[in-house]
Chains A and B, each alone.
Chain A
């Protein structure tokens, strides 16, 4: 079974440009999470989709970030316009919706974003 995949693995852009990150969750996983790790800091939650609906977007830093999950399959995270402080590693994780408290989040390899 394929794991969570993310594209691109690396992205280097200039301040003011736009970047779109993509996450393909494990097939059948309705939960999809985005996280970000800025250098030297904790991995921080950004938002949570259940299927195509945003369950929780309390971690989104500002309106320059737009996440979508059309059709409830893959998700994109667009940063427009990118700022220097957006640099970091963006992780995606997916899990099955389960009534039991046994949720295991499976993580992708991350996208390393560098804004110059």
Chain B
């Protein structure tokens, strides 16, 4: 069975600085997708970034980028120029290949941003 591990329950970053959230996963499949979701306090979870396993190039979305190490089964999220609005729970998630299907989540990392 696939598993997703986030080893950092909480992280803190100074405003304007850079922070990296860790995620590792375990799977025997070759076709899959990885996601980072963000859940701000009392708000809905939203997709931050997505990575297709067959793509070697790391995904980027503005200030958010990932470091995808397929052999190591690692998928970290880097947030550059952190803003107060980045404070949230961040969930790493895995989905097996195919056009759709359920997500497998890690326990989440609570990110605090200090002004």
| Bind each other | yes
Chain A interface (Cβ < 8 Å from any Cβ of B)? 3-4, 31, 33, 35, 40-45, 48, 56, 59, 91, 95, 97-101, 103-105, 107-110
Listed by A's residue number, 12 A-B pairs whose Cβ atoms lie within 8 Å are A4-B44, A31-B100, A41-B107, A42-B106, A42-B107, A43-B103, A48-B102, A100-B99, A101-B98, A103-B99, A105-B47, A107-B46
Given A40-B107, A42-B4, A43-B91, 14 more contacts at CB 8 Å? A4-B44, A35-B102, A35-B103, A43-B105, A98-B99, A99-B99, A101-B97, A101-B99, A105-B47, A107-B37, A107-B45, A109-B42, A109-B43, A110-B44
Taken together as a complex, chains A and B put the C-alpha atoms of A40 and B110 apart, in Å, by 12
User: Cβ of B44 and Cβ of A59 under 8 Å apart?
Assistant: no
Taken together as a complex, chains A and B put the C-alpha atoms of A48 and B95 apart, in Å, by 13
Given contacts A107-B44, A109-B43, A109-B44, contact A59 B102 (CB under 8 A): yes
User: Cβ of A108 and Cβ of B44 under 8 Å apart?
Assistant: yes
Closest chain A residue to B91 by CB distance?
A: A43
Closest chain B residue to A96 by CB distance?
A: B100
Chain B residues near A104 (CB-CB < 8 A): 47, 50
Chain B residues near A108 (CB-CB < 8 A): 44
In this complex, which of A42, A48, A91 has the most chain B Cβ atoms within 10 angstroms of its Cβ? A42
Chain B interface (Cβ < 8 Å from any Cβ of A)? 4, 33, 37, 42-47, 50, 52, 91, 95, 97-108
User: Cβ of B103 and Cβ of A105 under 8 Å apart?
Assistant: yes
How many whole Å from A99's CB to the nearest CB in chain B? 6
Taken together as a complex, chains A and B put the C-alpha atoms of A105 and B45 apart, in Å, by 10
Closest chain A residue to B37 by CB distance?
A: A107
Closest chain A residue to B54 by CB distance?
A: A101
How many whole Å from A60's CB to the nearest CB in chain B? 12
Taken together as a complex, chains A and B put the C-alpha atoms of A87 and B100 apart, in Å, by 28
Chain B residues near A103 (CB-CB < 8 A): 95, 99-101
Taken together as a complex, chains A and B put the C-alpha atoms of A109 and B42 apart, in Å, by 8
